[in-house]
């Protein structure tokens, strides 16, 4: 892939600079790897001068932390299309479409996870990724009447995480959705009559 020039991508509109830089940071990591996350690569991707990155974030670590928060804000809501309802039919219902439309958030998060094996200082970021999803799943499963065992939330997350990883590498959105349908069916059987009696926890 030829390298972009600074003028290859139009700059963001007024007031959208910070969001454009975070979007660019996520995309740079997803496409080029975490080691290529620099002020210059992010600025080039966003179509701005590289001094603007330092102005907004001050350090590479701050940029990475804010990019992760931005990425999770984009993707964690895919845990349910009816958050706080405990509706198992809504659990992960929009996940495959969200990944198909924007695979960069997931690829960015996987990049952080893999890099943390080589760089222990990244472990807090990885823990933040896992905890954000597991906490959201825990809330939905509890509302569905599936108890308060965190191990179930970890299991459901691991299953969904594996499907997403396959989708952005060798799989398809259709295969992800079919897998999620089976997962929801198993959870519905486990919930039994409790699913019919559950009320919104919101």
List the chain domain ranges.
1-58, 66-195
What is the arithmetic mean of pLDDT over 102-113?
Answer: 96
pLDDT band at 147 (very low <50, low <70, confident <90, very high): confident
User: How far is residue 94's CA from residue 82's CA, in Å, rounded to a whole number?
Assistant: 10
Phi, psi of 48 (to 5 degrees): -130, 170
Which range has highest mean pLDDT (45-49, 53-57, 182-186)? 182-186
Q: Give DSSP secondary structure letters for 14-30.
A: TT-HHHHHHHHHHHHHH
Give every CB contact of residue 188 below 8 A, 6+ residues apart in sequence: 88, 89, 195
What proportion of the chain, given as a percentage, has pLDDT over 90?
Answer: 83
Please state the CATH superfamily assignment of the domain spanning residues 1-58 in this structure: Homeodomain-like (1.10.10.60)
Residue closest to 157 by CA, chosen among 127, 172, 171, 137: 137
Q: Which two tokens stand for residue 114?
A: 């893999």
Give every CB contact of residue 60 below 8 A, 6+ residues apart in sequence: 37, 38, 39
Query: C-alpha distances in angstroms, 67 versus 57, 60, 103, 113, 196?
Result: 10, 10, 15, 14, 39
What is the arithmetic mean of pLDDT over 6-24?
Answer: 68
What is the arithmetic mean of pLDDT over 107-123?
Answer: 95
The whole model's pTM is what?
A: 0.86
Q: Which two tokens stand for residue 159?
A: 């299953």
């Amino acid at each position: 892939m030829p390298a972009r020039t600074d003028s290859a991508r139009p700059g963001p509109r007024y007031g959208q600079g910070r969001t454009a830089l975070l979007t660019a940071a996520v995309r740079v990591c997803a496409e080029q790897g975490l080691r290529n996350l620099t002020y210059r690569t992010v600025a080039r991707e966003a179509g701005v001068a590289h001094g603007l990155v330092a102005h907004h974030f001050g350090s590479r670590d701050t940029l990475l932390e804010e990019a992760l928060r931005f990425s999770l804000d984009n993707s964690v809501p895919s845990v349910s299309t009816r958050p706080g309802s405990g509706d198992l039919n809504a659990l992960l219902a929009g996940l495959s479409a969200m990944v198909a439309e924007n695979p960069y958030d997931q690829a960015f998060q996987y990049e952080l996870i893999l890099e943390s094996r080589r760089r222990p200082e990244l472990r807090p970021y990885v823990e933040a990724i896992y905890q954000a999803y597991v906490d959201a799943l825990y809330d939905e499963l509890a509302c569905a009447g599936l108890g308060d065992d965190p191990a179930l939330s970890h299991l459901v997350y691991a299953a969904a995480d594996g499907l997403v990883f396959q989708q952005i590498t060798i799989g398809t959105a259709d295969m992800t959705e079919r897998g999620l349908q089976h997962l929801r069916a198993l959870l519905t059987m486990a919930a039994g009559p409790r699913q019919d009696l559950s009320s919104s926890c919101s």
